Amino acid sequence: MKDIETRHDIECLLTHFYSQALQDEIIGFIFTDVAKINLKSHLPIVTDFWETLLLGTNSYRGNPMAKHQQLHGMMTLTAVHFDRWLLLFHNAVDELFEGRRATEAKARAQAIATSMYLQIVR
């Protein structure tokens, strides 16, 4: 297995993650029924986000905290949802990649999920 090296790698990772997340019994409905995301327009945005974090491209110009705060207003997010999100993300990384950036992706996800949880849920 290889490490995460390009934008295309990040697209593969996220396509894999959302293929699991959208049909997940615990968090799937949040994407499909609550936020009703359009994967085609959502994917490039989250790809920019992870590309900025892992490859330093500076392509993401959004505010994830505000987005999830808004989501929390539409349906109460709990630790169960965050734990599930993280498990699916970690699994998606481990199923496709290994190496320094793969490890970094999991660590960043963990750190951001924790700070998101503390800021918007507690």
Which residues contact ligand HEM by CB under 6 A?
Answer: 27, 30-31, 35, 37, 45-46, 49, 62, 64, 67-68, 71, 77, 81-82, 85, 109, 112-113, 116
Contact 113/85 with Cβ under 8 angstroms? yes
Give the CA angle between residues 20, 119, 29 to the nearest 5°: 25
* 8 or 67: CB nearest ligand HEM: 67
Task: State the nearest-atom distance from the C-beta of 73 to ligand HEM, in Å.
Answer: 11
* 1 or 76: CB nearest ligand HEM: 76
- Alpha-carbon torsion angle 55, 65, 97, 56, nearest 10: 0
Task: State the nearest-atom distance from the C-beta of 82 to ligand HEM, in Å.
Answer: 4
Contact 62/110 with Cβ under 8 angstroms? no
